[in-house]
Amino acid sequence: MGKIIQTLEVDSVILEFTNKRVLHDVYLKCETNKITGLLGRNGAGKSCLMNIIYGKLSPLNGVVRINNQVLLGLKRKSGDIMYLPQFHFIPKQLTLKRIFYDFDLDFNSYTNEFAEFNKHYNTKIGLLSGGERRIIEIYIILSSRTRFCLLDEPFSHVMPLHVDRIKDLIKKESQCKGIIITDHLYEHIIDISDDIYLIRDGKTHLINQVEEIELLEYAKITLPHHSP
């Protein structure tokens, strides 16, 4: 018997700031067992849409649904959605021991993925580098017991040598949850996403072929060269 697919949908979203329309009639769907990429230029409204989904920002119009049930108000349950913002969200005075305890996660499972953190079990997270803090935050959100994860710029503040390990972790966790991810390092989004939406002129465009990203004037895509 196959897994029951759960669906997160954002529908008919309109967002304005001081009479400037940022998002217009936006639709996006994410399913469990899938990675949904979100692309767009700076200021296109990607983080705004993430905050609307998470419930931190109230749109002028639109709904967020899980399995056709509308999520009302600005409160979300952690069992439904977890959100990785662009900024550090874990208080810097907390030790890794306390953080993993508070989130009910196993530190040994974490060090199986990132062995170099073994020595930091009793270290305050604020004493780590920005990239190290980011890796911990990404792991916390991805490994939490939730149906959907929102990741805002997970690759932008970590060393290149960690990017592939984070991508592997995202793929692994997508086997049991739905993941929406955005990052200006769009090559990584294209690489791991099952579905891709591009925000342009306030609207979302579902990308069916990677060439459409170039046609929509987001970026010039270099496709892999295949020898005849």
Condensed to tens digits (0 to 9), the pLDDT of residues 158-171 reads 998 899 999 999 99
In this predicted structure, the answer to whether residue 226 has a pLDDT above a threshold of 60 is no
Judged against a pLDDT cut of 90, whether residue 210 lies above it is answered with no
The per-residue pLDDT for 18 is 87
- The full set of domain ranges for the chain reads 7-215
Would you identify the CATH topology of the domain 7-215?
Answer: Rossmann fold (3.40.50)
CA distance 93 to 22: 36
* Cα–Cα distance measured from residue 222 to residue 163, given in angstroms and rounded to the nearest whole number: 20
What is the rounded distance in angstroms from the CA atom of residue 170 to the CA atom of residue 174?
6
Q: Residues 38-75: pLDDT tens digits? A: 999 999 999 999 999 999 999 999 999 999 999 977 77
223 pLDDT more than 60: no
**Confidence (pLDDT) at 1:** 52
